[in-house]
Amino acid sequence: MKLLEDRIKKEGQALSETVLKVDSFINHQVDSVFMDALGADFAEHFKDAGITKVFTIESSGIAPALMTAEHLHVPLVILKKQTSKILNGNVYQTRITSFTKGTSYELTLFADYIMPEDRILLIDDFLANGEAAMGASRIIEASGATLAGIGILIEKSFQKGRKRLEEAGYTVYSQARIGKLGAGVIEFLPEEEPQAAKRNRQTEPKSGEPPAQTVGKTGSRRAVGAN
């Protein structure tokens, strides 16, 4: 998406070979008009996927996910990283390890906010190793719902996240794909084509099986195990 690439070129700062700073317009100060444009793009890309809910993980993905949900006219559900006294009882949980931050947390979803018939679009700001998206996929699949697509603002294509998700059978659309980062260096890969164009080129759907899920239940709290 040229709009996002141009903004990254203008305001983004490559601090190292793996770290891109975009806090002036995405994850600290948020440009609401710009986020609306990103949301409209995600909605257009996944308009034929039968999306019933948009999911995101707190907190940097909330702004683009909200705008996407608005354009698709569906609810937004925010997966929680922090333990809450309110979210006790009938919940899905899985443990996520962030290699970027060197921390782990329990990703949590209250079971009332997902149904087996739901088709979920997951929106996140960054894709690197794919840990967060894989964790969200475990929760979604454990509920019986379908993860119908994954929308990413900025993909670090030199890391393994996209490959992991696609090998698990998920459709990934990234608005900006970065092929190389370095001090003062940001190089993009070519833009992805729209879903409709992909379907016109394909004679068969892409093969791939979703990851096997392990769901244990202790009381009313459902622990979704990583594989």
How many angstroms separate the CA atoms of 180 and 163, rounded? 16
**Strand ranges, E, within 53-198:** 53-57, 76-79, 91-98, 103-110, 119-127, 146-156, 172-182, 185-188
Residue 226 annotated in ligand binding: no
Residue 63 annotated in ligand binding: no
Residue 88 annotated in ligand binding: no
Residue 131 annotated in ligand binding: yes
> Sign of the C-alpha dihedral, residues 14, 164, 121, 212?
negative
Q: What is the DSSP string of 88-122?
A: -SSEEEEEEEETTTTEEEEEEEEGGG--TT-EEEE
Helices 32-45 and 62-72 pack at an angle, to 10 degrees, of 50
Pairing label, strands 119-127, 20-21:
unpaired
Count of CB atoms within 10 A of residue 142's CB? 22
Residue 141 annotated in ligand binding: no
Residue 90 annotated in ligand binding: no
Residue 27 annotated in ligand binding: yes
How many angstroms separate the CA atoms of 20 and 8, rounded? 9
Q: Which tokens sit at 87?
A: 């979210």
How many angstroms separate the CA atoms of 129 and 65, rounded? 20
Q: Which tokens sit at 101?
A: 């931050």
Residue set of the binding site: 20, 27, 128-132, 156
**Residues flagged as binding site for 5-phospho-alpha-D-ribose 1-diphosphate:** 128-132
Q: Annotated binding site for xanthine, which residues?
A: 20, 27, 156
